Amino acid sequence: MQESKEGHPHGPMRRKDREITNRSEIDAILHSANLMRIALADGDTPFLVPVFYAFDGTAIYFHSAQTGTKIEIMKRNNKVCFEVSLDHGIIENDIACDFEAKHRTVIGVGRTAFVVDEAEKIKALDRIVKHFSEKKFEYPKANLNCTTVIRIDIESIKGKKHGVY
């Protein structure tokens, strides 16, 4: 994973006092949340979609139907930006324009890859399901065949927090 570059959309953070520099704290956020938003680009048209996901400590996995807008965009452009956020709330102030968002947020960029290895696919689905249930599930071959699993290979990542310590 590379460090952020100056001038890159995922470059150095302006508010250093809010930056999460501890990678284990960033990983804890990724392990804790259930919902991730992924941003894709189709030419000059952005596309944003929420997905359920799992983080294995190295890569992020999510699943999808075999067809649809996000699948078609990823086939043309596998670059992705992702965002996960926890602890939403408002920090009120006596001045209207001085309200702030309470949050812990992780934003990263990477490249998507369609998972074809059945063992990796099952492991990813197990991780995703574990966010919602402790039950162990079997995946019928027909279901596996019509489910697409996508891996995000993370290229850079950063975290930010405010109002949560």
Tell me the three-class secondary structure of the chain, residue by residue. Answer: CCCCCCCCCCCCCCCHHHEECCHHHHHHHHHHCCEEEEEEEECCEEEEEEEEEEECCCEEEEEECCCCHHHHHHHHCCEEEEEEEEEEEEECCCCHHHCEEEEEEEEEEEEEEEECCHHHHHHHHHHHHHCCCCCCCCCCHHHHHCCEEEEEEEEEEEEEEECCC
- Ranking 100-109, 114-123, 138-147 by mean pLDDT, the lowest is 100-109
> 121 lies in a domain?
yes
> 20 lies in a domain?
yes
**pLDDT value for 102:** 64
Q: Which of 100 and 122 is assigned the larger pLDDT?
A: 122
Average pLDDT over residues 129-142: 90
Residue range 31-67, pLDDT digits in tens: 999 999 999 999 999 999 999 999 999 999 999 999 9
> 65 lies in a domain?
yes
> 9 lies in a domain?
no
> The whole model's pTM is what?
0.84
Please state the domain count of the chain.
Answer: 1
> 87 lies in a domain?
yes
CATH code assigned at 91: 2.30.110.10
> 2 lies in a domain?
no
What domain range is 42 assigned to?
16-162
User: Which of 125, 136, 33, 49 minimizes the C-alpha distance to 87?
Assistant: 33
> 4 lies in a domain?
no
> 6 lies in a domain?
no
Give yes or no for residue 106 having a pLDDT over 80.
yes
